[in-house]
Chains A and B, each alone.
Chain A
Amino acid sequence: MSQDYWNYIFIGLSFILYISIAVRSRAGSTKEYYTAGGGVSPLANGMATAADWMSAATFISMAGAIAISGYDASRFLMGWTGGFVLLTVLMVPFLRKFGKATVPDFIGDRYYSKLARAVAVLCAIFICMTYIMGQMRGVGVVFSQLFGIGIPAGVATGAGIVFVYAGLGGMKGITYTQVAQYCVMAFAYTIPAIFIAIAMTNNFIPQLGLIGDYTAGTADSIPFLTKINNINSELGFREYTSGNITTMNMFCITMALMCGTAGLPHVIVRFFTVKNVRAVRTSACWTLLFIAVIYLTAPTIGAFSRVNLIEKLNNISYAETPGWFKDFEETGQMAWVDKNNDGKIQYYGPGKSESGTSSPFIGSKPTYPAYDAPKVQRIGINGERLLASKADMTNPNELWFGNDIMVMANPHMAGLPKWVIALLMAGCIAAALSTAAGLLLVLSTSISHDLMKKIIKPDLSDKEEVNYARIASFVALGVAAYFGINPPSAFIAKTVAFAFGLAASSFFPTLLMGIFSKKINKEGAIAGMLAGISFTLGYIVFFQFLGGKPEQWLLGISPEGIGCVGMLLNFAIAFLVSAFTPSPPQEVVDMVESIRLPDDPNAEEGSPPPAIH
């Protein structure tokens, strides 16, 4: 049976599963639409949150980023899991006790101001929108590869499926679908890792293999990390276990990622679906455990597949390369430029050239001649696919591969059966769909609930509100699909990477002060939010788009980590302004008092599920 058939079977089955779950648990009321009625079990919610959190980019590219940058990529590993600790002990139990459906709701009520609510809605829409575009693009790319259709058709198919179960099913439909999606993702990620760990280190637990011995070579076994460090030094890369980023910068980036995670609205609302504050804590434990399964596996996949890839390709003549190399060459995910015309692939790092570069061609991605170009322009003398990009002759490196190759090619490299590869494909799609659905829900509720009901048209009925939410999700999806097909290249791609810094400098401090301080008033909160986000955004724009040089970095902090400074600024300004303006009114102080306490022991059902006012 060919690979295509396996792919169709696995993806087809997973879709039937998702859609039938969504139809069975579709939402009937606003309460079910926004928070699944507030009765999801902590375990199920933990799985759903983990699926929501693992985006297509994390699932496909994170291991590749680790493979390339080694220790430096730890900032993602620590940042995106450590943020959950902040989220759980500082945020969600209190926001759940507050009992409203959205994050702007809390900011609007705590800071008794429509302006604060409007700022929060704008931040939420901006963060979710930048995220969801990337997801739609991811779905489109996977679909177009699978079915041989163009990316626009792939994006449209993905958007249609997301709309069916997110737009119609609401939070209830999404939650139970995400449970299924998490299971698919976890298997798809760990099974190839186990196989490759056995092949490289003779240990079936990848995490133990990483700190164990390398046994695949013919010589005596040596520690695996020594092996990968040796390979890196020989080829002119930095040692795998040592970093390139300064300690100060690494600290700030990790901090910004952690605090940004704790301020992401689409993760916070997930915890509004469980029964009470006690269940929130249990659910957060489960979530982090499920996320940890994937995040502990990612560094092992990165390290193993790096060694495997280099051993299989470096100094091998093109004719002897394995079949998967040619397949990925065909899809443009790998490329080879024979600079010295010896017919062999050479892979080198920046340490092997005087210019300090290591790109095989000029530009960041390979470009190819048109399909109808003469054969001599398309196929080289060894049978390789030729590039239209000009070779970069300042360095000897001849091999290029994208970040996603470490996960996508892993089963091929390890020679795994076809059904594992099909499972991986289904996992990629699950990752993209689950995140897109979660984001879409936050987007549509931000528009229907916070914007329409609370700011523009307060007399909206329950049913009308759900209809607005559905219309909003349809429109938002349309916009996201449009940008998925026509990515506004440089700008959005760069902004997504900084979304965490923006969340860290705006939402995180404002929510934190709202819970833990009774002194911060609306003037302080608004001034702090504006100061934090404009400083962070200004710094990013200056260095990314207006040609600022790394030598001009403030204290050596890169734009990726500046959210950390923006956050401190937000805190400082908010306290300063609050000290010179009137204190918050008594009812707000009482409200803060009440969210700090756990559920009322005398109520039978714990605290009431979030009510829509």
Chain B
Amino acid sequence: MSEQPSKLHCRRYWQKNITLVMILLCCWFVVSLGAGILFRDWLDANLPKVGNAPLGFWMAQQGSIICFVIILYVYKHMMDKLEGEEGFTSKK
């Protein structure tokens, strides 16, 4: 049995959670609204193509979705790890 997490653990857990969410939401914004819409023309013109597709167009139709899946996987992995570190998972 692990011990009940202390107040300190709880606060630190929440802080780390917020930091992680913020970082992931930045990635989320950059790959979709950023690369797919706001900076799309610049990406199309200046960066290498993906196969035959201009990068901005590809990000909007394919790349952003692939990135979303990766973002969620990272979130799941990091949160599970964080819970272990701060004593929120029981060691059976």
Contacts and interface: CB of A to CB of B under 8 A. Distances in A.
A282 B88 contact: no
A241 B66 contact: no
B51 A254 contact: no
A581 B87 CA distance: 38
A217 to B, nearest CB: 15
Q: Is the interface of B mostly helix, strand, loop or mixed?
A: helix
B72 A247 contact: no
A74 B44 CA distance: 15
Contacts of A241: 53-54, 57
Interface string A315-339: 0000000000000000000000000
B59 to A, nearest CB: 9
A225 B58 CA distance: 11
A304 to B, nearest CB: 13
Interface in A456-489: none
Interface in B8-54: 10, 13-14, 17, 21, 24-25, 28, 32-33, 36-38, 40, 50-54
B38 A251 contact: yes
A78 B64 contact: yes
A109 interface: no
A226 B79 CA distance: 44
B90 A601 contact: yes
B60 A77 contact: yes
A81 B65 CA distance: 7
Contacts of B69: 285, 288-289, 292
Contact of B83 (A223, A247, A278): A278
A296 interface: yes
Given A285-B76, A596-B14, A247 B37 contact: yes
A536 B38 CA distance: 24
B36 A78 contact: yes
Nearest to A223: B52
Contact of B4 (A81, A86, A212, A602): A602
Contacts of B36: 74, 78, 254
A574 interface: no
A254 B61 CA distance: 13
A151 to B, nearest CB: 34
Q: Is the interface of A mostly helix, strand, loop or mixed?
A: helix
Interface string A53-70: 000000000000010000
Interface in A277-297: 278, 281-282, 284-285, 288-289, 292, 295-296
Contacts of A254: 32-33, 36-37
A227 B24 CA distance: 37
B32 to A, nearest CB: 5
A237 B70 CA distance: 35
A211 B68 contact: no
Contacts of B32: 78, 82, 254, 258
A224 interface: yes
A292 B57 CA distance: 17
A601 to B, nearest CB: 4
Nearest to A42: B76
Contacts of A210: 51, 53, 62
A599 interface: yes
Interface in A429-466: none
Q: Taking each of B58, B60, B79, B89, which has the highest tally of chain A beta carbons within 10 Å of its own beta carbon?
A: B60
B18 to A, nearest CB: 8
A391 to B, nearest CB: 35
A207 B53 CA distance: 11
B90 A82 contact: no
B65 A78 contact: yes
Contact of A74 (B53, B60, B71): B60
B72 A288 contact: yes
B37 A250 contact: yes
Contacts of B54: 225, 241
A281 B80 contact: yes
B71 A85 contact: yes
Contacts of B75: 88-89, 281
A295 B51 CA distance: 19
Contacts of A400: none
A598 B52 contact: no
Nearest to B53: A211
A93 to B, nearest CB: 8
A602 B92 CA distance: 10
Interface string A69-113: 001001001100110111011100100000000000000000000
Given A74-B60, A251-B38, A601-B90, A225 B65 contact: no
Given A71-B60, A207-B62, A212 B52 contact: yes
A610 interface: no
Contacts of B24: 85, 89
A224 B60 CA distance: 17
Contact of B61 (A74, A224, A247): A74
Contacts of B4: 601-602
A201 B51 CA distance: 13
Contacts of A597: 5, 10, 13-14, 88
Q: Which 4 A-B pairs have the closest CB atoms?
A: A211-B51, A223-B52, A74-B60, A281-B76
25 contacts: A71-B61, A77-B61, A78-B33, A78-B65, A82-B28, A85-B71, A85-B72, A90-B21, A211-B53, A211-B58, A212-B52, A213-B52, A225-B54, A254-B33, A255-B33, A258-B32, A281-B79, A281-B80, A285-B76, A292-B69, A299-B61, A299-B62, A597-B10, A602-B1, A602-B4
Interface of A: 66, 71, 74, 77-78, 81-82, 84-86, 88-90, 93, 207-208, 210-213, 223-226, 241, 247, 250-251, 254-255, 258, 278, 281-282, 284-285, 288-289, 292, 295-296, 299, 596-599, 601-602
Given A71-B60, A208-B51, A282-B76, 4 more contacts: A82-B28, A84-B72, A89-B21, A89-B24
